[in-house]
Structure 1
Amino acid sequence: MDAVRKRLPFSGYSAAYALPSIIRCETNLYLAQFAFMKLLPAKYIIEQALARGTLTHGMKVLETSSGTFALGLAVVCRERGFQLEIFTDPVMEKGLENRLSSLGAEVFIITEKAKQGGYQRSRLDALHARMRQLGHSCFWPRQYETPDNPAAYKLFADQISGMMDADVTLVGSVGSGGSTCGTIERLRQKASGARLVGVDTFNSVIFGQPDGERKVRGLGNSLVPKNVRHELYDA
């Protein structure tokens, strides 16, 4: 009941769970535990699009994702009353697909892998084809390139610096680049010596490896997203 009472002042699920719990594991070691990782940028991107007028009611939201960004969008779109279409590939877990469907999202599984760029390229091609079909009645959040993705993590960085010195070493997984680059850029505004360590997976092209099958989800990519700014990483 204590946890429920703490959530009551928030306007909805996304507002209550966008920011993580900060857990102290031991001296000088803290863990950021998100309810799910990409609810924060999904919420921020949709809110910014509404504020600018690039997303209006009646439009469909389209995105390519195989993981938590799709789930974040599904929650936010359900709250805001938007129809969501997700373009993914066979690696998406059936449980996640069911959760998306239960939130009202339509999920398209792309089964043919492109020769260059793999499933990621095939998913983008399918999304672009759908956008041409819908014309101006759709909105694409563009998680891999929109500056709103890293900008969303200013809130997380301020949460960190509000609890401890901003002069930290941030260790984070890299997929779109939004969380690590956005957080460290904000932290360095307050402490220029803050360091960033990126964690990638085997067969991901983000830091120069050849593309291949990846067993671990939630990080890595078959394409290098524009939101990955290599100059921000120390290791």
Structure 2
Amino acid sequence: MTVISVPTDFNVEDLYVDLRSMVGHALFLKCEGFNFAGSIKLKAATEMVAAAEWSGLLKPGSILVESSSGNLGVALSIIAASKGYGFVCVTDARCNLSARRFMEAMGGQVHIIAEPAASGGLLGARIAHVQALCASDDRYIWLNQYTNADNWRAHYRTTAPTIARHFPRLDVLFIGAGTTGTLMGCARYFRELHRQVKIVAVDSVGSVTFGGEPGRRMIPGLGTSVRPALLDESFVDDVIRVEEADTVRACHRLARRGFLFGGSTGTVVSGAQEWLARQSDPDLTAVAIAPDLGERYLDTIYQTNWLHALYGEEVLSPDAPDTLAADLRSA
């Protein structure tokens, strides 16, 4: 029996889904969404808050404020509620309605930014709003997930060692790139372990994280319109960019097998499948990190009208360019 007194005390760390039958390679999906925040972001949020408390930055009466597309905001809202802090999430229209309602249920406030900045897009505008709040009142404390080293340290301490322990002969690790906290923490750990593990970053088409022109991105989670300050590309062996339509197909393919995952997970799975399909070695052992579950995407990725309006009525048809869609008919 497990008994806890605070929500951060519960997190399922050792659950993997075997995707070999789906992708044709030994790919194991590390499920990070089985906690009270529903995503891997609970780890970074917990680490950043603990460090801020230890340093004296956070104290009674503080109000946490953070720019988030949803998952980190949810995680911080839970921690703020459990510790008695105020919380403000600065987001934009891409944030799922269920995530907004979740944060409000925890007693947090949600500020939605509608107009992108001339430089930096919506993310740049969100950050500017956070900075304005902090300048207006010294009770506001911005942990800044985009530059905070405790973001990656959380995964250096927890996520990566767990993977290394369960997969001593791991060949490749697929990690979605958002703030790049998970990516950098895991990559640094395996580099220092001197384990020959190839680190493959999975990004969204339209993101500027690894260069390129910014483009429309409607699925929150991975990708950025401002290059993450945490990113050190010397730790990354390869990068896969995934179209959002392929993210959708991956999510639906998993759902047809009874696994309801979120958009970030769909992106990572699609990227991993694409990368593995190019390899000549059939005996590679791979792990992909699944950052989130799918309940918060029921009104978007799993809603037909939303999909058709953004990606066309053929997005899930057998004639779609990705093999994931065809597999829907045979699942």
Q: What is the TM-score with the length of structure 2 in the denominator? A: 0.65
* Count of matched residue pairs: 228
Q: Which residue of 2 aligns with 1:16?
A: 10
- Cα distance in 2 for residues equivalent to 1:167 and 1:20: 15
> SS where residue 14 of structure 1 aligns?
helix
Q: Which residue of 2 aligns with 1:178?
A: 181
- Cα distance in 2 for residues equivalent to 1:153 and 1:166: 20
- Cα distance in 2 for residues equivalent to 1:83 and 1:14: 17
The one-letter amino acid of 2:143's match is: P
Q: Which residue of 1 aligns with 2:321?
A: none
Q: Pairwise mapping of residues 1-235 of structure 1 onto structure 2 (< 5 A)?
A: 5=1, 8-17=2-11, 19=13, 21-26=15-20, 28-35=26-33, 36-135=39-138, 137-154=139-156, 155-165=158-168, 167-235=170-238
Aligned identity (percent) is 25
Gaps of 5+ in 2: 34-38, 239-331
Could you say if the C-alpha distance between residues 16 and 169 of structure 1 is closer, same or farther in structure 2, counting changes exceeding 3 Å? same
> SS where residue 50 of structure 2 aligns?
helix
Structure 1 residue 204 displacement after superposition: 0.5
Please identify runs of 4+ aligned residues in structure 1 that moved more than 4 A: none
Residue by residue over 1:30-86, the C-alpha shift from the partner in whole angstroms, topping out at 9 and shown as x without a partner, is 211112121110011101111121111111101001121111111111111111001
Residue by residue over 1:87-118, the C-alpha shift from the partner in whole angstroms, topping out at 9 and shown as x without a partner, is 11111111111111001110001111112111
The one-letter amino acid of 2:30's match is: A
Structure 1 residue 228 displacement after superposition: 1.4
- Cα distance in 2 for residues equivalent to 1:20 and 1:82: 31
> SS where residue 200 of structure 1 aligns?
strand
CA RMSD of superposed structures (Å): 1.7
Larger Rg: 2
- Cα distance in 2 for residues equivalent to 1:134 and 1:153: 32
State which drifts further: 39-48 or 162-171: 162-171
Higher RCO structure, 1 or 2 (CA under 8 Å, sep 6+): 2
Q: What is the TM-score with the length of structure 1 in the denominator? A: 0.91
- Cα distance in 2 for residues equivalent to 1:61 and 1:80: 11
Structure 1 residue 29 displacement after superposition: 2.4
> SS where residue 32 of structure 1 aligns?
strand
State which drifts further: 113-122 or 161-170: 161-170
The one-letter amino acid of 1:44's match is: E
State which drifts further: 15-24 or 119-128: 15-24
Gaps of 5+ in 1: none
